[in-house]
Amino acid sequence: MSAFTYFPGCSLRGTGVAYDESLRTLLKVLGIALEELDDWNCCGATSYMAIDEGSAFVLSGRNLSLAREKGNHELLAPCAACYLVLRKTQDYVGRYPAIAEQVGQALSASGLPPLDGVRVRHPLEVLYNDVGTERIRKSVKRKWAGGKVACYYGCQLVRPFAEVDRAHDPTRMDELLRAAGIPTVDYALKTKCCGGSLTGTIHDVGVRLNYIILKEAVRKGAAALATVCPLCQHNLDVYQREIRRSTGEKLDVPVFYFTQLLGWALGSDPDALGLKRQVSGRRLVREWFAEREVAVHG
Amino acid sequence: MPEAFEPRIVAIFCNWCTYLAADLAGTSRLKYAPNIRVVRVMCSGRVDPQFVLDAFASGADGVLLGGCHPGDCHYQEGNYKALRRYHLLRHMLEQMGIEPERFRLEWISASEGERLRVTVDDMVARIRALGPLRLPEEVPAS
Amino acid sequence: MDYGPRRIIAMVREGFRTEALASETIWLCASCYSCAVHCPQQIHITDVMYNLKREAIGSGLFPKRFPIPVLAQEFYNVVRRRGRAAEFLVVLRMALRTNPLVLFTMWRTGFDLLRTGRLPLRGERVRRMPQLPREAS
Amino acid sequence: MDNGIRIGVYTCHCGTNIAGIVDVRNVAEYAAGLPGVAVSREYKYMCSDPGQELIQQDIREYALNRVVVASCSPHLHEQTFRTAVAGGGLNPFWFHMVNIREHASWVHLDKAAATAKARDLVRAAVRRVALHRSLEKGRVKIHPDVLIVGGGIAGIHAALTLANAGKHVYLVEREPSIGGHMAKFDKTFPTLDCAACILTPKMSAVRAHRNITLWSYSEVTTVEGYVGNYQVTVRRRPRYIDESLCSGCLECVEACVFKQAKVTDEFNMGLSKRKPIYIPFPQAVPQVPVVDPETCIQFKSGKCKKTCMDACGERHAIDLEMKEATERIEVGSIILSTGFQAFDARRTPEYGYGTYPNVYTALEVERLVNASGPTGGEVVLRDGRHPRTVGIIHCVGSRDEKTNRWCSRVCCMYSLKLAHLIKEHTEAEIFNFYIDMRTPGKGFEEFYQKLREEGVHFIRGRVAEVTDWALDPSEEGSLVIRVEDTLAAFVRRIPVDMVVLATGLEPRSDAQEVRRRFNVSCSTEGFFLERHPKLAPVSTFTEGIFLAGACQAPKDIPDTVAQAGAAAAEALALIDAGFIETEPNTAYVNEESCSGCGTCAPLCPYGAITYSEEVRKAAINQAKCKGCGTCVAACPSGSIAQNLFEDDEIFAEIEGILSYA
């Protein structure tokens, strides 16, 4: 089976650790090997780029270059921000000679090879294109007993530079979850921004954005959300208490990584999927993922 | 200090497509390198290989032919004839040691002023990088 | 948001540099790239905002006690020193520089994260630090 | 020069168009020193009367016998200067034109380089013109019949104009009826005349006119020949009803075994159903139904009771065995009036067309407000409700780099019209969302003013999205329009019951195919290209083929009709002259050196070259030769030459360019 060089990114070492756990577990079940990129560094994302663009591209370029050095040019980046910055770097290096020169010089000064030839991939698109909904359907081991899920794609995965899904109306996460027997609801806010780091800075603005996204999902009949990005999951999951304080509404909606849900459907152990790391909706999580093996044929 | 090399390019454009594209580039005030000189013929099918050889022999660093896109020829299929001759001539020029970048055939329609600009700039840049054409002695001058 | 992105662009075009660079608006851009996808003139508005942010820092015109530029600077500093970001450190330092009282309202969130194993207090480091940019470019 | 060649060279300033970049004096002084040049001048506007007189005066005074003018493109003024040269008493072809405007001053910034280029081009022309020989123009007779392709308002108006002048017109229309887009409209802006009231009399006139042959449900498949003598084939699709026998009683439609209409009605933009045998709309011309073989039971199973045929009775107009027919005609000129297509609103997914049922396109709403439309003029939403609030979004598929860059010109005005009509029909509150209001036309701005007085809201801002997410209960069940109100300077959410997308006009999806068939060009965005945007707006680069209506660019009905009239006038001028002068750029064979190899004959697309086995020589029919020169380049023995493009002339030009003084 296939293998990827793995770029977890800083978030998957912290608040997004459940994404890391569930992705590794799920891909193992599917026979996809991951080898973590040795000595990777910060991708140069948003906040860094706001201070120093050139260095941000160099940071990103070093990761790409390390992947190239390693030999496996398929680089898997689950964090939407990392994915976008890595691809943006490739795009701009190709498009703007000045950026290409700066990055190229920095890399060669560090004794690193040029960064071209690496293909940056995202798990959503790998699962959809390389694995496919058919194989997911055939690999299902557990029958879903939970509620409907709203797939929230967030912003950066469906914007310029990305090759994951359609920009306006992405559906691939929905298709994968449905293939795993998990019902999803369609809703118009699936690509609206969660506010990114605004929850940490202009708290009330960030919290309100998340309130709107969660509430609309619930209005459309969802009992939970599925995400593809550590920052989205963090924002939607951990601020529901603040939402209650500012709006008076008790939501308590669990927010998952799509890999957790797929992993569970494919029979993995809930702990190995990081399912104990949810902050909101813990009661539902316990209920839905209680160990009652319902064998599905196949 | 020696004078910087400025490529001299003879362009032979068909009356109905590429010549009009050059007119459109003008009316659109697009800017491109001033190194080409356009000779107008009615159809790219009129281009006799001798014209190209004569241009190189007379000191051109490059020759650019322009015609209508396949299927769009004002005279139905003159551009296909041009294409056939182009391939033969290109082969011959290569054997004579003239770099292939120096001789191009491009399909540029009357609406493609921008494409004309890009083509000319690209060709000038490539020939600038190659340097002046140095012809072997035995090139037949017409 | 003090101006709105359309007004920021208009201000930049018309030379109201100080007003644009001192605005909070440019910092509120969370880089979701929605504008870049929708702009009928295909302007890379996100990059314009990045540029303005950098110019605001460079010229010192950025709003000093506005938390977002402070967060960006702290994020940048942590990555400069360690090669990787450490969320805990970045947020802590930002709060200390802007409004330490915020830490009191954040403690429950922090506790939730600690309890679920999502807030490592020791950040990671890159081994080959000399390969990373040191001088600002 | 001893050969008696005396050349006058004239370098034009074109105001500052040329002189602003090219050092015109330098070019003129340089030209004065070239061999054979008797006089070299610069002048502000060579194309003006004094400029032309200057040439004629010099011809007399300096005994000139060749003239070079360095100015603009020969496509613009070659004819002007040839006439001037002829007026001076010289053969008009003792002239050569140098393009230093489009090909130099307008495309370069470096003044020295542009001037050097101008000098090179003038030098080449001086060398070339010395070799020019005197030539005579050819003449081609013009067949008086005219083909008009496309039976919308443009084609209808052009056809009637020509037919009234006594010319025979073939009007070919792809759809079962003529009328085009205009037939779908309810009212027309800004006067609110009923579209049907002004269009249908003209449609009937087409049907009744003895000088018009109308072929609906038909398409032009091939076009051969050239100005004055086009051979055209037209494919007539079987409508399964004989037009010559049908009386238009429509009893067959009534009698169809489908009691209920079940097939999507194209004319009503899918808002209603029709039967497999149908007439697109009540006033259709010809007043003859058509059978749709895709849905007719007889075609699908062969087991229909064929009640339609029973209803037709003795007339026997229905012929389900009807086969496609081909017509071959000869015409002297052609008018293309193939129209536009509306932008596909699915290409802007942020506006929810196809996702939310109550998002409509403007053409759908035209049918909804139309008294003969699917609802009899009642504005009812797809869910049966009557809208109380309506948002009209302008510039959908216009002024947008992601879709179409151009302004579609009619959307502001038709949006105002629809706002007025919807308000009149429903008393709904109406919001218009615009980028800029563009109302340049007779009575247009006044109409805009009237709409403002009627209380329609005008919000300046390009709508971000149409969505169904609700922030609070007041928005539940509505479509929410999110937009920055750029006058109020904040972002608004406006809940409405109905959204109307003012979709733009774009070239028809088969415009490229059609342009190839007729050997015309398209401009960058894909509309057919006129010969000159100002001075030849209905001509094309192919002689004898003219343009009318929105196939050339988006335009409203008054402009379309005006252009159709102009195209008809151009065709008339051609016909009434009886003949057209042709460029003497034909090829000819030098019999002495012709080796009789026969290479040339199959190359000629016009069959102008004959090869005689007896004398083993090729010969070129001057009337058939179109002057491409392909045979000239192909002749192995160099025995074919081309007037105006002689080998020695072209060599002189190439060498002239490259020979630095």
Are B8 and B34 within 8 A, CB to CB? no
Output the pLDDT for position A293: 52
Question: Do D115 and D22 meet the contact criterion of CB atoms below 8 Å apart?
Answer: yes
Interface test with D, best of C6, C9, C25, C35 (most D CBs within 10 A): C6
- What type of residue sits at position D35? P
Interface membership of D14 toward B (CB under 8 Å): no
Residue B101 Cα, gap to closest chain D Cα (Å): 19
CB-based burial label for B138 (10 Å; 0-12, 13-18, 19+): exposed
A52 to C137: CB separation less than 8 angstroms, yes or no:
yes
A212/D349 CB distance under 8 A: no
pTM of the model: 0.88
- Residue D338: closest CA among D510, D536, D502, D201: D510
Mean pLDDT, rounded, for D502-515: 96
Could you tell me if D59 and D90 are in contact, meaning their C-beta atoms sit under 8 angstroms apart?
Answer: yes
How far apart CA B44 and CA B52 sit, in angstroms, is: 12
CB D489 to CB C4 under 8 A?
yes
Q: DSSP secondary-structure letter at D351?
A: G
Q: What is the pLDDT of residue C107?
A: 83
Q: What percent of chain D has pLDDT over 70?
A: 99
- Measured between CA atoms, the residue of chain C closest to residue A280 is C112
Tell me, what's the pLDDT at A116? 83
Q: For residue D39, what pLDDT is reported?
A: 97
Predicted confidence (pLDDT) per residue in C20-67, tens digit? 999 999 999 999 999 998 999 999 999 999 999 999 999 999 998 898
A168–D470: do the CB atoms touch at under 8 Å? no
Q: Does the distance separating the beta carbons of C38 and D464 come in below 8 Å?
A: yes
Of A169, A187, A212, the CB nearest to D349: A169
- Is the CB of A116 inside 8 Å of chain D's CB atoms? no
Burial letters C43-73, b for 16+ CB under 10 A, else e: eebbbbbbebbbbbbeeebbbeebbbbbbbb
Query: Which residue in the set D605, D632, D653 is minimally distant from B46, CB to CB?
Result: D632
Cβ–Cβ gap D73/B26 under 8 Å: yes
C120 vs A14, A102, A159: nearest CB = A14
Q: Give pLDDT tens digits for C83-133.
A: 998 888 888 888 888 888 777 778 888 889 989 999 888 778 999 998 998
- In angstroms, the separation between the Cα of residue D594 and the nearest Cα of chain B is 17
Q: How many CB pairs under 8 A join C and D?
A: 18
Task: Tell me the mean pLDDT in the region D501-511.
Answer: 97
Classify the complex by whether its ipTM is higher than 0.90, answering yes or no.
no
Model pLDDT, residue A297: 47
Q: Do C42 and D489 touch (CB under 8 A)?
A: no
Pick from A36, A52, A234 the residue to mutate for testing the C interface (most C CBs within 10 Å). Answer: A52
CB pairs under 8 A between A and C: 153
C42 in contact with A, Cβ within 8 Å:
no
Asked if C76 and A84 come within 8 Å (Cβ–Cβ), the reply is: no
**Which residues, given as ranges, of chain B have pLDDT below 70?**
1-3, 136-142
Cβ contact D349–A216 (<8 Å): no
Contact A11 C87 (CB under 8 A): yes
For chain A, list residues with pLDDT below 70: 1, 291-298
Which tokens go with D605? 């697309």
Contact yes or no for D117/D307 (Cβ under 8 A): no
| Of A168, A187, A216, Cβ closest to residue D350 | A168
| Contact call for D490 and C4, based on CB within 8 A | yes
Cβ <8 Å between D651 and B54:
yes
pLDDT (tens digit, 9 = 90+) per residue, D116-168? 999 999 999 999 999 999 999 988 899 999 999 999 999 999 999 999 999 99
Nearest to D605 among B37, B55, B76 (CB): B76
Residues A192, C100: Cα–Cα separation, whole Å: 31
- Residue D606: the pLDDT is 86
Q: Which amino acid is at B2?
A: P
Is residue D102 within 8 angstroms of chain B, CB to CB? Answer: yes
- Specify the pLDDT at position D660: 66
CA-based nearest distance D516→chain B, Å: 6
Q: Does D221 touch chain C (CB under 8 A)?
A: no
In chain C, which residue's Cα lies nearest the Cα of D351? Answer: C38
Say which amino acid occupies A131: V
Task: Give the mutation candidate from C38, C39, C42 for the D interface (greatest D CB count, under 10 A).
Answer: C38
What torsion, rounded to 10 degrees, do the Cα atoms D644, D649, D653, D654 define?
Answer: 120
DSSP-derived secondary structure for A42-102: ----HHHHTT-HHHHHHHHHHHHHHHHHHS--EEE--SHHHHHHHHHHHHHHHH-HHHHHH
Chain B residue numbers touching D630 (CB-CB < 8 A) = 43, 45-46, 75, 78, 81
Spatial CB neighbours of C60, under 8 Å, sequence gap ≥ 6: none
* Parallel/antiparallel/unpaired status of strands D212-215 and D169-172: parallel
Question: Chains B, C in contact: 3+ Cβ pairs under 8 A?
Answer: no
pLDDT at A1: 55
CB contact under 8 A, C38 and D489: no
Indicate the average pLDDT of chain C.
89
Looking at per-residue confidence, does D333 or D661 come out higher? D333
The nearest CA of chain A is from the CA of C30 a distance in Å of 6
Q: Residue D86 above 60 pLDDT?
A: yes
Give the DSSP per-residue string, D587-627.
EEE-TTT------SGGG-TT--EEEETTTTEEEE-TTT---
pLDDT digit string (tens) for D517-560? 999 999 989 999 999 999 999 999 999 999 999 999 999 999 99
Rounded to 10 degrees, the C-alpha dihedral D223/D226/D229/D230 comes to 10
A92 CB contacts (<8 Å, ≥6 apart)?
A57, A99
Closest approach of chain A CAs to the CA of C83, in angstroms?
5
CA–CA gap between residue B119 and residue B105 (Å, rounded):
10
Mean of the per-residue pLDDT values of chain D? 95
Tokens 């390389």: give the residue.
Answer: A130
Neighboring chain B residues of D544 at a CB cutoff of 8 Å:
none
Instruction: Name subunits touching D (3+ CB pairs < 8 A).
Output: A, B, C
* Chain B interface includes D394 (CB < 8 A): no
CA dist., res. D439 & res. D437, Å (int):
6
Instruction: Give D471's contacts in chain A (Cβ within 8 Å).
Output: 212
| Distance from C-alpha of B17 to C-alpha of B24, rounded to nearest angstrom | 10
